[in-house]
Structure 1
Amino acid sequence: MSRQKVVAVVSIAAAAAILAAVFSVLPMQGGMTIATNSSASQQDKSTQQIRNIIYNAKFECGTISGNEGPLRPGHYDTDIGILNKQDFPVKIQWSATANDGMNTNSILKSLQPQGVTDIVCKDLRQVLGNDRSFVEGFVMINVPVEPGLLGSLSNGSAVLGRSEDINILEVQAFYTANALDELPHNTLVDKITFTIVNDTSGKIPVEIIGKVLDTTVPSTMNEISEPESKVKGALAKKYGLSEQELADLQIEIQNVGIGVGTMIDDHAISLSKIMPQASG
């Protein structure tokens, strides 16, 4: 091989090695490939400009009285708390969208350092103009990123979607659900001791006829009532007595006492921490 051919082969090999080091071949859809500078691409992706930091919180407000859903019957409430955990003021914009509804106009607010505010069902119904018994949807809390805002958090740049770099606020949603029309409280009860003298229906077990029994029934302050009627009503409900069978039932009241009972506390609470998302 001549000297000129050897030099040419060496030059081509060196050029190929340089190109392989600078460029990488990446697969694309359809089996096509494209050559790109991978290190420059990764750097541009990691330092995209963030323009908004957004917190999305679910809300449930109102009463479900039947089985129409979407949740079990009960009373639902939402309290979204917002804390500015920075040592400088932060401006926020919040809006709400009910299911199958339109987004409301944004409400502007400025939070002082360590300042706190909240968004409750009363606020949501007011901005939504919704008077239905039950409404649910999302609250969008937006922090517009002004020049220098992220500087104290990540030296002026952050990775899109990495929430730990951009969590300027502490946002928590507190949910309550209660199946009672009113809060649990103490109630008066009558404890009635009695004996079943005669039962012509045959529905009441024979072994309890003539024995001393007792039952507890709700009572109301200053109420005038007949203990015998209360006991017969309880027996009719338990054993399915007809009106005639109830009329023929003979009982004897032994004693009536007053006690204090407590309503069953049928409620649930939950707390959710809302993490932010960044958008360019």
Structure 2
Amino acid sequence: MMTIDDFRAPGPDLFIWPPIIRDGPLWFTKPVLLAVVCAVLVIAFCWAAFARPKLVPRGIQNAAEYVYVFVRDQIARPQLGADADRWMGLLFTLFLLVLTWNLVGIIPFVQFPVSSHIAFPAVLAIAVFLLKIYLGIRHQGGLLGYLKNVAVPADLPKGALGIYVPLELAHQFLFSFTTHAIRVFANMFAGHMLLAFFSSVGFWFLFQELTPLGAPIGLLGVAVTIIMTAFELFIMFLQAYLFTMLSAMYISSGLRTEH
């Protein structure tokens, strides 16, 4: 008979997936499939909402316009100002994609947030990073002009250049990129681990090994899972918002000097 000592908490193996097709390509795993499905869902959502827009929006168009206005007014315009409308297509798509990647983590029988695999937010972060560099070189006087604008403020004392310039270059070309990807990844990774732990506690003590002493622990696990799921919903939305906001900030820093 199993005891409490036989309980094993979920570990990092939650994020290791075998190929979906036996003897197929090693890269074609559940996270890859979910990432593609989410992208198709975002395209279908936007197509259904905006392919034939009505003057008075209803249904999907109405929902999409609420999201569009949120991204425009809360992210694009505060960060990009007059350039906001030009970049709304990209920012709106990023927000929807990251949000969908996050939300699949709480869908029954799917229950895996795509963003909890660092490779997926990293790809988006690399794309935004390269776009920032391209815009900076194009709009700020070439490569040298861009580097000078981001790393050498006009009012900086010459004695501080040796300290400030390397730190600012590291921030602009290393730390900003890595934190852009890691922020959403770390939150989704930790959230998925917590949900998996508390739900496994509930399942083990209520269904796998039901005992008078273990039942209260199982009920507590179920209650915490429900609470954590509601909190995770908020975190999923917040991380999509922050990822898109940082993308807008980086695009803005490429379009115009920060100093």
TM-score normalised over the length of structure 1? 0.18
> Higher helix share goes to which structure?
2
Higher relative contact order (CA 8 A, sep 6+): 2
Q: Which one has the largest radius of gyration?
A: 1
